[in-house]
Structure 1
Amino acid sequence: MREFNLLVSEQMKTMDKLLFLQGELERCEEIEEQLQLIQQETELESIQHEIKMMKNELKAIHKIFETQTEEVIRSYQDMNVPV
């Protein structure tokens, strides 16, 4: 049970990172749209670079979360296997 609780705790931390990053990505994309409207090319390139980096980080965190989900499921199944 302890391992299961630790895995769930780690997964919750990952989910917090995931949600934060998604929110930041949405915020940056809104800024990107605004900058495109006012055509500030230098700032636009900077925010586009930041968006690309966030998307890459989001993909990596998503993979971690999926792996943690599989570990949680395996741990739960192991707890419930009759001895």
Structure 2
Amino acid sequence: MEEFDRLINEQLKTMDKLLLLQSEIEKCQEIEQQLYALQEFKQIQSIGEEVQRMKKELSSIQHIFEQQTEDVIRYYQESQEPSF
């Protein structure tokens, strides 16, 4: 069961990273909208590039989270199999 707990803890850490990054992306997108309203086009490009970078990072973290989920499921299923 120790391994299962370790897998779950790693997955929770990854989930925290996902949530934090999603929050940062939302904040940047709000700033981007404000800059559009102010017609600050040079800054808009900079923010847009940052949003794209964060979205790539988010995709990578989501992939890691999915892999961790598969590992947790696999470990749980294997631990439930009767041993002879």
| TM-score range for the pair, normalised by the shorter chain length | over 0.9
5+ residue gaps in structure 1?
none
Give the paired residue count.
83
Which stretches in structure 2 are left out of the alignment for 5+ residues?
Answer: none
Query: What stretches of structure 1 move > 3 A for 4+ residues in a row?
Result: none
Using the alignment, how far apart are the partners of 1:60 and 1:52 within structure 2?
13
Measured in 1, the distance between the counterparts of 2:14 and 2:81 equals: 27
* Identity rate, percent: 53
Q: Provide the residue aligned with 1:69 in structure 2.
A: 69
**Partner residue, 1:47:** 47
Tell me the C-alpha RMSD between the 2 structures: 0.5
Matched, 1:19 2:23: no
* Corresponding position of 1:58: 58
